[in-house]
Amino acid sequence: MATEILMPALSPTMEEGTLAKWLVKEGDTVSSGDIIAEIETDKATMEFEAVDEGVIGKILIEAGTEGVKVNTAIAVLLDEGESADDIADSAAAPEAAAPAADAGVKAAPAGGSATAAPPAAPKVDTSPDWPDGTEMKTQTVREALRDAMAEEMRAADEVFVMGEEVAEYQGAYKITQGLLDEFGARRVIDTPITEHGFAGIGVGAAFGGLRPIVEFMTFNFAMQAIDHIINSAAKTLYMSGGQMGCPIVFRGPNGAAARVGAQHSQCYAAWYSQIPGLKVVMPYSAADAKGLLKTAIRDPNPVIFLENEILYGRSFEVPVLDDFTVPFGKAKIWREGSDVTIVSFGIGMTYALDAAEKLAADGISAEVIDLRTIRPMDTDAILASVMKTNRLVTVEEGFPQSSVGNYITSVVMQQAFDYLDAPVINLTGKDVPMPYAANLEKLALVTVDEVIEAVRKVTYR
């Protein structure tokens, strides 16, 4: 049967081209791979090869023709024994075979309509994280994180820890203290200083059915590994049509510590929270550190678990339970209030809670919400609170542009605009690389005074 040779698309963007030159003539025999024509695309002049074998029966588009649409028949190829006379003149080009994309793509499920009536306050899950009357013990964040890993490692052999100095050194910040002794070198693995490489190996191990906990000595170093976190870990489930997930936890200290300068003092909460496929956790208290890390290790998705060096040594009450976990996507209201909502997470909570305490002395009642997980984010808790207080201040240590607070503000504006009595204020770190000098460093971070000042602004008091 005669085959039409069609004008090919020779680049992702080509829609038409010039048939510059024929290198064969009618009657020539061609085989697969022979160059039959030169075609000028929008990018270059390309050689066009025959795919099938046969005899060129008829050339339909003359050399030199410009603006030949992709998929136009340019020649007819005959099989053995066929003659050019067999070809009907109806060898017209079929319409482009590629189906047109349906225009009705589902709109992003974001935002409410600008004209709708003010929405009702969403129902918020305010169930306690542990039953009343549970025995409590005082623990540092550091101990809580270690206990979470140890408990999950006891429960499942697929869970292992890898990272720099996690084993014999007992952890650069002593988070993995004692794990090597209990679990041995097979499951507590010191790596060379090679973040890009061991992050990739961790992701591969997760593809292979294990549940790695990859410790970065700090998240600043994870920038060397960010390609694997985003391109390899976060996107594979989607790119594989749901076949292959990546159950992995990337954890380590994040944000500013003290006097370590610009390259070691950066908060990545906003960065990672942008990525579909990742979950992003940033605990404040020891109980949350423990409960959320256990949830992270069990989660079938890649989880970014952002800790804070300054918080490691802080003590909190932690419930004494055999298997205590905290779900993702559930904020915690640390303090109820009626005049203003302060939303924060991680170390930002220290400023938020201090400020709320001081404001209470002045008669301003602040509701303080700890997001705990940035993605998924419990926006319902924020909205319900703002609908009650009508004022919002967000607090974080990251940079101001495209901050987590910016996102929260956008959600509140779209879904609770009519409830706002004042513009939202986003408190962040300053828009500067972290300076080393003690006085400048203090100036670059959020302060309790700034939170108080912002609350006074939005409450007009």
Q: Which of 24, 70, 262, 321 binds other proteins (CB under 8 A)?
A: 70
Query: Which range of residues in 76-84, 215-223, 242-250, 353-361 is near other proteins by CB under 8 A?
Result: 242-250
Catalytic hit among 152, 215, 264, 309: 264
| By CB under 8 A, residue 81 contacts other proteins | no
Shorter beta-carbon distance to other proteins: residue 305 or 351: 305
| By CB under 8 A, residue 210 contacts other proteins | yes
| By CB under 8 A, residue 208 contacts other proteins | yes
The token pair that represents 105 in the structure block: 């793509």
Least separation in angstroms between CB 319 and other proteins: 25
Q: Which of 17, 54, 247, 337 binds other proteins (CB under 8 A)?
A: 247
| By CB under 8 A, residue 44 contacts other proteins | yes
| By CB under 8 A, residue 274 contacts other proteins | no
Torsion-angle region of residue 460: left (phi > 0), alpha (psi -120 to 50) or beta? left
Query: Which range of residues in 187-195, 252-260, 427-435, 438-446 is near other proteins by CB under 8 A?
Result: 187-195
The yes-or-no answer on residue 264 being catalytic is: yes
β-strands 340-344, 303-307 pairing: unpaired
| By CB under 8 A, residue 17 contacts other proteins | no
Site for other proteins in 330-349 (CB under 8 A): none
* Neighbour count for residue 73 (Cβ, 10 Å): 17
Site for other proteins in 366-425 (CB under 8 A): 375-377, 379, 411, 414-415
Least separation in angstroms between CB 206 and other proteins: 7
| By CB under 8 A, residue 430 contacts other proteins | no
Q: Identify the bridge partners of residue 77 per DSSP, sorted by sequence position.
A: 3, 56
Q: Which of 27, 28, 29, 45 binds other proteins (CB under 8 A)?
A: 45
Closest alpha carbon to 432 in 445, 421, 420: 445
| By CB under 8 A, residue 435 contacts other proteins | no
Q: Which of 252, 253, 255, 277 binds other proteins (CB under 8 A)?
A: 277
Distance CA 24, CA 20 (A): 13
Q: Count residues contacting other proteins (CB under 8 A)?
A: 84
Shorter beta-carbon distance to other proteins: residue 10 or 286: 10
| By CB under 8 A, residue 10 contacts other proteins | yes
Least separation in angstroms between CB 441 and other proteins: 32
Query: Which range of residues in 243-251, 333-341, 398-406, 436-444 is near other proteins by CB under 8 A?
Result: 243-251
Task: Tell me if the bond preceding 376 is cis, omega within 30° of 0.
Answer: yes
Q: Identify the bridge partners of residue 425 per DSSP, sorted by sequence position.
A: 393
Least separation in angstroms between CB 175 and other proteins: 22
Site for other proteins in 97-116 (CB under 8 A): 97-99, 101-102, 104-106, 109-111
Q: Which of 140, 236, 390, 403 binds other proteins (CB under 8 A)?
A: 236
Q: Which of 20, 51, 121, 360 binds other proteins (CB under 8 A)?
A: 51
Catalytic hit among 164, 195, 309, 367: 195
| By CB under 8 A, residue 228 contacts other proteins | yes
Q: Which of 81, 131, 192, 363 binds other proteins (CB under 8 A)?
A: 192
Shorter beta-carbon distance to other proteins: residue 63 or 239: 239
Q: Which residues are catalytic?
A: 195, 264
